[in-house]
Amino acid sequence: MKHKIVCICGLTGAGKSVVSDWLVDKGFGFLRFGQITLDIVKERGLAPTEENERPIREEVRKKYGMGAYAILNIPKIEKLLEKGNVVGDGLYSWSEYKVLKEKYGDLLVIIAVYAPPKMRYARLSSRELKSEDTDLRHRPATWEQARSRDYAEIENIEKAGPIAMADYIIMNTSGIPAVYKQCEDILKDIMR
């Protein structure tokens, strides 16, 4: 059986990292689509804020097209797939979905993680930036920053498309144990 690439999508604060980390614990190789943005933020000596990241995301897509993050990450994906199954954290745009679907076909599995806006914004506003979070995967955001990011990602980078086309949806409204149970059920189905 060929290895699978499982891409996680969802709006900010939905719980994508929780699902990705669970899959990594199950032996999946890990790739974060948005690491490209954070690497550029670091290179430019900017603070990792939504106000600094948004123009970079849009700049990358302007330069490489709306499928940029998929295209730029394919070499990493290929390398990881040689070793086993892969989880891609943070698939964002419809164009990225189409690039990956064309390349990987049925080996691509999309999991959308959902939580209502108020719940996500509360999570994000209560987060603290930890020094060990060097990849900035768990950054805090104010309610207004999170809402602004939701609107920008839906309107400017086609984020709703992969969520709508997901093979599976995880409802992250009842706590981590409930998310893990859903992950277990989905993984069993994927590996059939």
pLDDT tens digits along 20-72? 999 999 999 999 998 999 899 999 999 888 789 889 988 998 999 999 999 99
| Residue the block writes with tokens 């394919």 | 74
Domain annotation for the chain: domains and CATH numbers: 5-190 (3.40.50.300)
pTM over 0.85, yes/no: yes
| CA gap 133, 108 in Å, rounded | 28
Strand partners, 110: 7
